[in-house]
Structure 1
Amino acid sequence: ALTHLDASRNALSQVPDEVARLPQLSFLCLSHNRLQALPDALGECGALTVVQVAHNQLRRLPDTLWALSDLGQLACDHNALESVPSSVWALPSLKVLRLTANKLTTDGLGLAPGRRGAPLETLDLGENRLSTLPQLSRFPTLREVHLQTNAIGALDAEQLMPLAQLQLLDLRDNNVAALPAELCTLTALNSLAISGNPLRSVPHHVQQRGTAAVLALLAKRMG
């Protein structure tokens, strides 16, 4: 039975119905096509662990993705998504979610405050239209958060404090004017990218010295 299907770079405008009839399919790559939608029947491919649909023209994702309980990686970057089904954030095996370069607003993420979500380790939300930090506190397993090139202003410390395993936080090219001092308590954080922000609270010469210097300055302010 077919377990691995790579149909990338085929100028596909729709997903063949046959795909939904592959119960043992675990890897599906449909990247670099012309897809505007994914079939609801995709939710019937219960063995899927990796779905790659980057570089298409997707405007939405099917609500049926909630049924993919083994899905560990979902790559939807470089599409035209304006929203994400709220069920995606609760997928029990999802560790990597890539949504870079879409048309997502904070509301469009469908991420309400609530109980702990998917066991995410990597979340890519760069190059979207976010104006505030998403509800990151629901994902305490996060190690990498990419938020570059959005319109994020204030950073809510309450969304960052629970991320004890966070190693990388990319905030380049946003509207961040101040960093919460509490960032210095994230002991795993070793890469903090903040260039291209109107930061008044962190002098440029400190930024140039890198993450450790920035966190040391914040720690000093915490006293």
Structure 2
Amino acid sequence: MASALERLTLLRSGQLKGCTELSLCDAGLEQFPREIFNLGDSLVKLDLSRNKISELPKDIHKLCNLRILFCSSNCFTVFPEGLGQCPDLSMIAFKQNAIRTIPEGSLPPKLRWLILTDNKIEALPYDIGKCQHLQKLMLAGNCLMALPDSLRECVALGLIRISANKFHVFPQVLSSLPNLAWLAFAGNQFSDVEASRRFSQKEAIRLIDWSELVLHEKLGEGASGVIYRGEWTRSGTGVLKTAIKLFKGAVTSDGWPHNEMEASLCAERHLNLIPVLGKITGHPTNAEGLVFDLIDPTFTNLAGPPDMTTCTRDVYLPQTAFTVNEILRCARGIASAVAHLHSHGVVHGDLYGHNILISATGECLLGDFGAASLFDKEDINVSRVVQTLEARAFGHLLEELLTRTRETGAEDAKRIEKLWLVQKQCVHPDIFFLDICSQLDTLV
């Protein structure tokens, strides 16, 4: 594969005519290469990430077929106004710049997915309400104190991240969004107050000294940290096989890693949650981390994460299919786990199949608390909103399972019909997870 500099040379010599995708990441660019306009009739995806560009041409709309634009890790301070004139642009990423201002009229009409994580944005434009196709809005790590009332017009919005901002109160405009299902809001003033209150009352957290741990191979890596297979040598009790997560520290698309750790510790134990054994202390570089039970490798991810096409919905392998018993076992387990979280003032925020581990018989575990937030159960308005949003996410999950049901007999068909009734209640929610659990229990 050609390097970014080699592709830039090809671009400037006119040898990329007709190409649909162009990546010029890490090319040392300080300005937008005007030669890109020679691809105006064909270019669909453009990636200019990790350069030193600070502005885009005002006539960027001449790239008339452009649908996907990545400009993360550059030097932008103002969101490019010309993007509002791009007729087909649907996915935009300006993660990790220094953007403070988003001018009115700068958001394109077909926008579905907007990534503005880790900037310095103080306000959203009022005309964001015109983005009728917007489904995913990533705003973690900014300086927002409020959301415009016009956001309620973004009726397709399904996922929003407002973690690690400066909200003093929960933005009530979120309660009016009819399709919102996945919300992260930790790391704001109102949620930090709740976290401080919670930990002042919490029993002592088990601390595990780094010297007691041994790291083996890496099991996985996400935005917030790296997970290793490990061993914990406990005094007098032998060696326990574990999973060890070391957090990176920087803000992620979901928020601050330390908020993930707080939520994980507040979740307490449940049969369908991955048990947290303790918090790491004494790391040589002062890295934060958690120690978990090591999960049986026969457990696999229920689904893959959303892609650029599905946007907010998980991706399943074509051959994926479930029996009614597997669906019911999984649904009951996850609903019970979420009811448990809500009873402890924790909202998961990312209730998706790709965050669920499942066995061959339908036993399941809910993991990944990267988007989790703490909420005050006594605040009726906030409590109701966040719990019913999570019910909608569960409804989407249940739909994905039910549309992948294996051939069944008459008795199973009746249970499927009743499961669909539960699903419909969830996606038009005024329902809590204890009610969902009760309804699912009647189908066993």
Q: Which category of TM-score, normalised to the shorter sequence, fits these structures?
A: 0.7 to 0.9
Counterparts of 1:144 and 1:55 in 2: how far apart (Å)? 23
2:20–2:43 contact (8 Å) kept in structure 1? yes
Say whether residues 1:98 and 2:115 are aligned partners: yes
| Partner deviation per Cα, 1:130-159 (whole Å, 9 max, x = no partner) | 0123442121101110001001122343x1
Distance change >3 Å, CA 137–CA 76, structure 1 → 2: same
Say whether residues 1:137 and 2:152 are aligned partners: yes
| Partner deviation per Cα, 1:64-119 (whole Å, 9 max, x = no partner) | 21221111100011001111132234x2221000001111002xx2225x854341
With structure 2 as the length reference, what TM-score do the two structures score?
Answer: 0.40
Residue 82 (structure 1) aligns with: 100
1:200 CA displacement: 7.4
Aligned sequence identity (%): 25
Counterparts of 2:156 and 2:138 in 1: how far apart (Å)? 14
Rg (Cα) greater in structure = 2
Please point out which of 18, 34, 53 is paired with 1:17. 34
Within 5 Å, which residues of 2 pair with 1:1-223? 1-23=18-40, 24-89=42-107, 91-106=108-123, 109-111=124-126, 116-135=130-149, 136-157=151-172, 159-176=173-190, 191=351, 193-195=372-374, 199=376, 201=378, 216=432
What 5-or-longer segments of structure 2 have no aligned partner? 1-17, 195-348, 352-370, 392-430, 436-444
Higher helix share: 2
| Partner deviation per Cα, 1:31-69 (whole Å, 9 max, x = no partner) | 011111122232211110000000111112332212211
Counterparts of 1:56 and 1:32 in 2: how far apart (Å)? 6
List structure 1 segments (4+ residues) > 4 angstroms apart after TM superposition: 189-192
Opposite residue 93 of structure 1, the aligned amino acid is: K
- Larger mean CA deviation between 121-130 and 148-157 belongs to 148-157
Distance change >3 Å, CA 119–CA 28, structure 1 → 2: same
Counterparts of 1:145 and 1:63 in 2: how far apart (Å)? 23
What 5-or-longer segments of structure 1 have no aligned partner? 180-188
Secondary structure in 2 aligned to 1:10? coil
1:216 CA displacement: 4.0
With structure 1 as the length reference, what TM-score do the two structures score?
Answer: 0.76
CA RMSD of superposed structures (Å): 3.0
Opposite residue 122 of structure 1, the aligned amino acid is: K
Secondary structure in 2 aligned to 1:145? strand
1:137–1:163 contact (8 Å) kept in structure 2? yes
2:84–2:109 contact (8 Å) kept in structure 1? no
1:164 CA displacement: 1.8
- Larger mean CA deviation between 40-49 and 120-129 belongs to 40-49
Task: Identify the structure with bigger relative contact order (alpha carbons < 8 Å, sequence gap 6+).
Answer: 1
1:38–1:61 contact (8 Å) kept in structure 2? no
1:46–1:70 contact (8 Å) kept in structure 2? yes
2:162–2:185 contact (8 Å) kept in structure 1? yes
Higher strand share: 2
